[in-house]
Amino acid sequence: MQTLSHSLSQNAPEIAAEIMQRLQELARHTEQPGMMTRTYLTPAHTAAAAQIGAWMQEAGMHVRRDAVGNVIGHYAACSSINNEAQPAPILMTGSHFDTVRNGGVYDGLLGIVLPISCVAAWHKAGVRFPFAIEIVAFSEEEGVRFKAPMLGSRAIAGTFRHSVLEHTDEHGISMQDAMRAAGFDPTTIDASAAKRGSIAAFIEVHIEQGPVLLNAGLPLGVVTAISGATRFMLELQGTAGHAGTVPMTMRHDAAMAAAEFALFVERRCSTVAGLVGTIGQWQVPNGATNVIPGKAILSLDVRAEDDAVRLAAIADLEQELAAICSRRGIRSMLSKTYETSSATCAPWLKRGWRHALQRHEQPTLELPSGAGHDSMAIADIAPIAMLFVRCGNGGISHHPDEILDAADADMAARVFMDFVTHFQIPNPTNP
């Protein structure tokens, strides 16, 4: 079987051409003509789900949708392995098919379309494995419409937070009402959870969404961990005053306190590789050219693949914020809005990616993922691993200029097929 599957991997250029074509076909399912926007349970989202399901079916998979709208294709194991009394273990893969507003056409979608095309090639050649393959097109990862990310993967992991069903979109439609209108029953979401122990591993192929592979001149990279993240909103309250009459030494300028803090964030988060801090929003309410800012509101996002590194940085940032505010006579209110722990990729699965890369004479570069992915949610119930694929244009993503080269899709398909062909569940006593 390995020899046959290796010969199939030589068809990767044809598979890659199909992948690239299908990615462009999916891009037609958008809420805004001329730009890529596809949010949860909109008509464009429903149409994309139908197209993905059709491709899964053509690839020889049994297709179903669960209560949150995930599209799940099941490619059965060898008939000698697969039986109702003891179902075959599952190698799960996939990614999300929702997008940010005015995003790119490869984010998430590559991790769905690529494995579908690979499974189709195996099906055509009559290749089956001692494990089932499930491809999941996760219905919602970005959290754009209802401000609740990773709905699909959390439903499968059994960690769906039912409180988000009350969230409403910009038109006042609640998530649960949107689900019912689309034909889904929110009261049955818990039934979407995978049976504990049924998933042997989860692997995700995804564009890097950054410049590391591009700058290294490499098409693929092995992910070490998905960074944990903590987000805050910070409100600084000073004293407004006339810009011409209040001496510099007597001011309580909220914007300058924010600026000093922002520069400390930059310095502190530059001290450890893999640690990043971002001030992404900055407002001076009612600001004017000739008024000393009395208030500043800003966001703070801190990420690291090591949770201890992230939490240590946050402690230092909080300490420095207090010192800045004391020195400048500013009141501060720091509110945590989001936090998630890092997810470490399983060593044995990383070895599998490395060996597949080596068999295709590809260098191995390991790197963390600073962006969140559905793998983070699935990590609660199964070992995970990710393969990053290079993107061009400086690594830009979540943007119309997001780029994927067909040659890189070709190599990703080869390595994915090689990984699956050689996949073995480790002995628990010798992982």
- Mean pLDDT over 102-109 rounds to 95
| Cα–Cα distance measured from residue 45 to residue 19, given in angstroms and rounded to the nearest whole number | 19
Which two tokens mark 285? Answer: 């309410």
| Residue ranges, CATH 3.40.630.10, the chain | 2-226+342-421
- The neighbouring-strand residues paired with 430 are 427
| Cα–Cα distance measured from residue 255 to residue 250, given in angstroms and rounded to the nearest whole number | 15
* Alpha-carbon distances, residue 24 vs 307, 404, 407 (angstroms): 38, 11, 16
- CATH, range 228-340: 3.30.70.360
Residue 388 is predicted with a pLDDT of: 98
Neighbours of 191 (CB within 10 A): 10
Which two tokens mark 297? Answer: 């509101």
| Cα–Cα distance measured from residue 346 to residue 352, given in angstroms and rounded to the nearest whole number | 10
- Mean pLDDT over 57-86 rounds to 88
Residue 86 is predicted with a pLDDT of: 77
CB 376 within 8 Å of CB 150:
yes
Which two tokens mark 3? Answer: 């020899």
- Residue 426: pLDDT band (50, 70, 90) is confident
State pLDDT tens for residues 121-163.
999 999 999 999 999 999 999 999 998 999 999 999 999 999 9
- Mean pLDDT over 377-385 rounds to 97
| Residue ranges, CATH 3.30.70.360, the chain | 228-340
pLDDT at 82 over 60: no
- The neighbouring-strand residues paired with 233 are 299, 335
| Cα–Cα distance measured from residue 310 to residue 233, given in angstroms and rounded to the nearest whole number | 17
Which one is predicted more confidently, 10 or 311? 311
Residue 84 is predicted with a pLDDT of: 61
- Mean pLDDT over 304-310 rounds to 95
Q: Name the least confident of 55-64, 76-85, 284-293.
A: 76-85
What phi and psi, each to the nearest 5 degrees, are found at residue 359?
-65, -20
- Residue 401: pLDDT band (50, 70, 90) is very high
Residue 391 is predicted with a pLDDT of: 94
Instruction: Encode 367-406: b = buried (16+ Cβ within 10 Å), e = exposed.
Output: bbbbbbbbbbbbbebbbbbbbbbbbeeebbbbeeebbbee
CB 97 within 8 Å of CB 112:
yes
Residue 2 is predicted with a pLDDT of: 52
Q: Name the least confident of 258-267, 324-333, 391-400.
A: 391-400
Which two tokens mark 251? Answer: 């001011």
State pLDDT tens for residues 200-257.
999 999 999 999 999 999 999 999 999 999 999 999 999 999 999 999 999 999 999 9
Residue 12 is predicted with a pLDDT of: 62
- Residue 180: pLDDT band (50, 70, 90) is very high
Q: Give residue 22's identity as a one-letter amino acid code.
A: R
- Residue 259: pLDDT band (50, 70, 90) is very high
pLDDT at 429 over 70: no
Q: pTM of the predicted model, to two decimals?
A: 0.88
Average pLDDT, the chain: 94
Neighbours of 188 (CB within 10 A): 11
Please give the DSSP secondary-structure letter assigned to residue 85.
S
CB neighbour list of residue 233: distance below 8 Å, 6 or more residues apart:
297, 298, 299, 300, 334, 335, 337
Residue 81 is predicted with a pLDDT of: 64
| Cα–Cα distance measured from residue 406 to residue 158, given in angstroms and rounded to the nearest whole number | 36
Paired sense of beta strands 199-207 and 90-96, if any? parallel
Which of 420, 385, 390 lies closest to 404, judged by CA?
A: 390
Q: Give residue 24's identity as a one-letter amino acid code.
A: Q
| Cα–Cα distance measured from residue 332 to residue 229, given in angstroms and rounded to the nearest whole number | 22
Residue 6 is predicted with a pLDDT of: 54
pLDDT at 282 over 60: yes
CATH topology of domain 2-226+342-421: Aminopeptidase (3.40.630)
| Cα–Cα distance measured from residue 78 to residue 16, given in angstroms and rounded to the nearest whole number | 26
Give the DSSP per-residue string, 349-414. Answer: HHHHHHHHHHHTT----EEEE-S--HHHHHTTTS-EEEEEE--SGGG--SSTT----HHHHHHHHH
Please give the DSSP secondary-structure letter assigned to residue 32.
B
- Residue 3: pLDDT band (50, 70, 90) is low
CA torsion sign, 421 to 422 to 427 to 431?
A: negative
